[in-house]
Amino acid sequence: MAIYTYVANDVDGKKVKGQREAASEEALRYELLALNLAVAGIKEKKPLLQMELAPKKIKPQEIMHFSRQVGAFVRSGISITEALDVIKDGSENKRWQNILGEMHDNIEAGIPFSETVADHASLFPPYYLGIIRSSELTGQLDESLNQLADYMDRDLEARHKVKSALTYPLVIMVMSIVTVIVMATFVLPKFVKFFKQFKAELPLPTKMLMFVADFFQTFWYVTPIAIFSFVGFVMWMRRTEKGNGVRDRLMLRLPLVREVVRYAVIERFCRILGAMVKGGVPLPEAVQGAIAAANNRVFADGLREAQERMLEGEGLAGPIGDTGLFPVAAVQMMRVGENTGTLETQLENISDYYGRELDYKLKKLTSLFEPMVIIFMGLIVGFVAVALISAMYGVLNGQKVK
């Protein structure tokens, strides 16, 4: 058991803070949900001596393979303890081996599989524990584990597509910025000294270029300060709650990327929600898990308000539609699913549709972004070339300063 601090909102929308002992972060989420509290944030309190120094991470791929392997063993009639032994022997990650060993010992001591997972809930996706608990009650653990592995595989593939689509344009943009900084810091000052030897009247582009070179040479410390500030800002946005909120609001307002981010969140939310509903998880708990997995503060805030209305019996489609975050078509499909008893099927259809739309948006974004970066780089290089060539022409023609 560990001690956690939490921030939540009660049914009246008032902020509630406190600390509570629980088996895991996910277990505490469910406890607070049972108390009609919408969780805004949870953080484990660890004594300084118990904190690990740079522990080796457990990759999502390992969790995916773990789920598929345990599901296959259970389907074949082999005990979970034997499955954990085989998986442990095949892993090269020492930390993962230790965790699997602890899970093996706990199961042999009579603790259910879901509770052994709950002891290490921070390693698993937010929706994982709810599906495992529900599948244990229905006797469909092998099927649920296989579904979890399939979803994680699709999720990893979607994330890989996003990263692959953005990597090349980002590399070009970074190299363009580095090129400009190197030219302004090291190359241009030498040309400035050269031109000053000739008392020629220099054209306006050359004067502008010399001003930039003088600025970077005089205020050389501006460049490292700007770089460190940018890196610090990015780290703040990635690693703090407030920074995450700023990042998510910013990404949903940028003209070229907001649709990509929106469709990615909708696809992930609906796929996770559909998987949890199909696994027999009660709808309020399923929504809570899907909110956490969506990993977007703007959507999380809107969906928590919708979740409170769901707890009051208003269903799914109406509260979600009122958030204004989901397209009308997606809300309509949810409403059809609720009315016909096929909610999990409709949620899967929504996630498939927006998954395809996400692919299209990514291709469109990269097709626009690449030429924009190339044009930007071309303008910079072209301006420098024009400034230098026109200055050389003036010097050679012996145009003197008045």
Look at residues 15, 19, 16 and name the one whose alpha carbon lies nearest to residue 3: 19
**What's the pLDDT tens digit per position in 172-184?**
777 777 777 777 6
Residue 115 belongs to domain spanning = 60-153
In tens, the pLDDT along 69-81 reads: 998 998 888 889 9
327-334 contacts: CB < 8 A, separation 24 or more? 327/266, 330/266, 330/270, 330/354
Residues 6+ apart with CB under 8 A from 340: none
| pLDDT at res. 1 | 60
CATH number at residue 21: 3.10.20
Percent of the chain with pLDDT over 70: 90
Which of 100-104, 217-221, 229-233, 340-344 is the least confident region?
217-221
**Residues in the chain, how many?**
402
Answer for the pair 205, 386: CB distance below 8 angstroms, yes or no: yes
Q: Does residue 130 sit in the same domain as residue 200? A: no
Whether 251 is in a domain gets the answer: yes
Residues 242 and 121 in one domain: no
Please give the full DSSP string across 324-393, using - where no structure is assigned: S-S-HHHHHHHHHHHHHT-HHHHHHHHHHHHHHHHHHHHHHHHHHHHHHHHHHHHHHHHHHHHHHHHHHH
SS3 state of residue 43: strand
At residue 333, the pLDDT reads 92
The verdict on 205 and 223 lying in the same domain is yes
Domain check: are 46 and 95 in the same one? no
Together in a domain, 244 and 285: yes
Of 153, 186, 221, which one is at a domain's C-terminal end?
Answer: 153
pLDDT tens-digit series, residues 288-344: 888 877 778 888 888 888 888 888 888 888 989 998 889 999 999 999 998 998 888
Residue 66: pLDDT over 80: yes
